[in-house]
Structure 1
Amino acid sequence: MSSRPRNKIFWFYGNLSRSGRRLSPCGRREIMTRILFIGQKPETVDYSDPALPPGFDAEKIAAGIAVAVADIEARGWQGDTCMIAPDETAGPAIERQLSGTHYDCVVIGGGLRIPPRSLGLFEIVINAVHKGAPGAAIAFNTRPEDTAEAAARQLARSGRP
Structure 2
Amino acid sequence: MATPTPARVLVIGLDPYRVPGPWDPEPVATAVAESMARFAERGIGARSCLIGLDGIDDAEAVVTSALRDQVWECVVVGGGLRKEDEQLELFEAIVNLVHRYAPDAAIAFNRTPSDVVEAATRWLC
Superposition TM-score, scaled by structure 1 size = 0.70
Determine which of 68, 77, 82 is the counterpart of 2:44: 77
1:92-140 per-position Cα deviation (integer Å, ceiling 9, x unaligned): 1111111140110001110110111111111111111111101000000
CA deviations on 1:22-74 (whole Å, 9 max, x unpaired) are xxxx7x452210111100111222446xxxxxxx6311111010111011111
Distance in 2 (CA, whole Å) between partners of 1:38 and 1:138 is 11
Stretches of structure 1 lacking an aligned partner (at least 5 in a row): 1-25, 49-55
Can you give the 5+ residue segments of structure 2 that lack an aligned partner in the other structure? none
Residue 141 of structure 1: aligned partner? 110
Whose radius of gyration is greater, 1 or 2?
Answer: 1
Q: RMSD in angstroms over aligned alpha carbons? A: 1.7
Q: Distance in 2 between matches of 1:85 and 1:91?
A: 11
Tell me the TM-score normalised to structure 2 length.
Answer: 0.89
Give the 5 Å matches for 1:67-146. 67-86=34-53, 87=55, 89-146=58-115
Task: Return the letter of the residue paired with 1:31.
Answer: T
- Bigger relative contact order, structure 1 or 2 (CA pairs below 8 A, ≥6 apart): 2
Amino acid paired to 2:82: R
Instruction: Tell me the number of residue pairs that the alignment of Structure 1 and Structure 2 aligns.
Output: 123
Percent of pairs with identical residues: 38
Amino acid at match of 2:5: I
